[in-house]
Amino acid sequence: CSASANKPVLTLFTKKPCPLCDEAKEVLEPYKRRFILQEVDITLPENSVWYDKYKYDIPVFHLNGKFLMKHQVDIQKFEDQLTKLELHND
């Protein structure tokens, strides 16, 4: 089954420490089998573009490369977008 190949990628822009990011990941825990979580540490030199963009806004989430939400998880919005992508893949 190649379902994992079509799983949406949720990108979390974060830095250490980030209590809000930890909180966000906990909120997303029940959904984790439906997406691939990719974390981007914005303090790394190669991520300076994201640092400049999001240094006051983390956590920031992108779903499949598109901005989704910031500061905290909007679970309704997340679920709607995730479902939309899953339907699109079928």
Rounded Cα gap, residues 90 and 42, in angstroms = 33
R_g (Cα) of the chain, nearest Å: 13
Q: Is residue 21 part of a domain?
A: yes
Q: Is residue 68 part of a domain?
A: yes
The angle formed by the CA atoms of residues 13, 19 and 33, to the nearest 5 degrees, is 60
Task: Express each pLDDT in 44-61 by its tens digit.
Answer: 999 999 999 999 999 999
Number of domains composing the chain? 1
Q: Is residue 28 part of a domain?
A: yes
- For each successive 10 residues of the chain (90 residues), what is the average pLDDT? 74 96 97 97 98 97 97 96 88
Q: Tell the residue number behind the tokens 């920031």, with chain if given.
A: 60
pTM of the full structure: 0.90
φ and ψ at residue 11, rounded to 5 degrees: -100, 125
Q: Is residue 40 part of a domain?
A: yes
Is 75 within 8 Å of 24 (Cβ atoms)? no
Q: Is residue 74 part of a domain?
A: yes
CATH of the domain at 59: 3.40.30.10
Q: Which domain holds residue 29?
A: 9-88
